[in-house]
Structure 1
Amino acid sequence: MYPFFRLAKTIVKSSLDFKKGDKLDFYDTSEYRFTANVNDIDNFLEMNNGRIFTLFDLGRTDFAIRSGLGAKLIKNRWGLVVAGSTIQYRKRIRAFDQVVMKTRICAVDERWFYVEQTMWVKDKCTCHALLRTAVTDFKSGKALPTKKVLDSLGYVNIHLPPDEWVQAWIDADKLRPYPSE
């Protein structure tokens, strides 16, 4: 089940942090802390890989709110979408582990925001994800140009090209055929 309670808690906490001045700049890294709950754990007694991806939503929510994007989403009737992702798992997350999730924008092109997310337990990285994301218009459902989104936040002339490994993923993903049946 989707962690609606955690999402509500994240929205409230991040909004209060934003109002208190704990804001994020576009180039900052968000840190979101949580405890791995029993309902996050699978039959192998570690955090389920699908749950990790779901909890990454909370880190992106925190980043969006504290960067000011959250208010723009509501005002302009915009939404967020994930259009692609890749992840590496390195260490187990067990029940009651204290987890630090880090979220940052690692690259931007005309259409996509590339988001890098990691989870850490005891200063060790447990997993590392890269996501291709966009801001969408609710009415049309189409992705907005990143320039329009950045302009609404007061950022002009943002130049954040992808690192080599990010570009390699972008290029490889373009070669991937999409099933037609």
Structure 2
Amino acid sequence: MNLIFRLLAVAAAAILSALRGRRAGLLEPSVLRFRVWPTDLDINLHMTNARYFSVMDLGRTDLMIRVGLGPAILRNRWQPVLGGATIRYRRSLRPFQRFTLASRVLCWDDRYIFIEHRMETRHGLAALAVVQGAFVGAGGVIPPSKVLAELGSTAASPPVPDAAAALRGQSLTAA
């Protein structure tokens, strides 16, 4: 709940940008700037691990709106969900420190879309994550080809990088 104001700010900026005709391409990164607030901290006084994922949610929201998926998501009542994630923490994010989040689509297969999130400070990379996402509708998982069709695209996926291939190989039903 304490991210609601960040969510509103991100969504408003993305919608205004889209209304001005500044739609991003499918493979272009979305870049957001943040600051670490006291509500983001854990007992070690750096950004808590869970907050990284919450901020990445904001990056995906911005990315979806900027590429033009907002209307299709609302019209089709799709829900964006994650099926897996891997993250590498490189540097702590300290109180009041500024950082950027760059989110971009890496590739897709017949079921999932893979997105990279890079959190960086002026000192370098703080965290790098790759997530496996999908859109779910009334009939189940929406194939990425149908999602792309909503954008007027029939583009082929870029090559699958190793980080995405590792997520693809994981079975979510074999627990």
Superposed pair shares fold, TM > 0.5 = yes
Match for 2:165 among 167, 170, 173? 167
Corresponding position of 1:158: 156
Corresponding position of 2:124: 124
Alpha-carbon distance, 1:6 to partner:
1.1
- What residue identity is the alignment partner of 1:131? V
* Correspondence 1:20-31 to 2 at 5 A: 20-31=20-31
- SS across alignment from 2:145: helix
Indicate conservation of the 8 Å contact 2:82/2:134, yes or no: yes
Indicate conservation of the 8 Å contact 2:85/2:167, yes or no: no
| Aligned mates of 1:177, 1:2 — CA distance in 2 | 34
Corresponding position of 1:12: 12
Among all aligned residue pairs of Structure 1 and Structure 2, give the percentage whose two residues are the same amino acid. 31
Alpha-carbon distance, 1:103 to partner:
0.3
| Aligned mates of 1:92, 1:176 — CA distance in 2 | 33
CA RMSD of aligned residues (A): 1.6
- What residue identity is the alignment partner of 2:124? K
The one-character-per-residue Cα deviations of 1:3-56 (angstroms, maximum 9, x if unpaired) are: 112111111111011112332100101101111111001110100000111111
Structure 1 pair 168/34, CA: closer, same or farther in 2 (3 Å)? same
Corresponding position of 2:136: 136
Unaligned runs of 5+ in 1: none
Structure 1 pair 21/164, CA: closer, same or farther in 2 (3 Å)? same
Corresponding position of 2:57: 57
Corresponding position of 2:143: 145
The one-character-per-residue Cα deviations of 1:98-138 (angstroms, maximum 9, x if unpaired) are: 1100000111000000011010111511001111100111x
- What residue identity is the alignment partner of 2:166? A
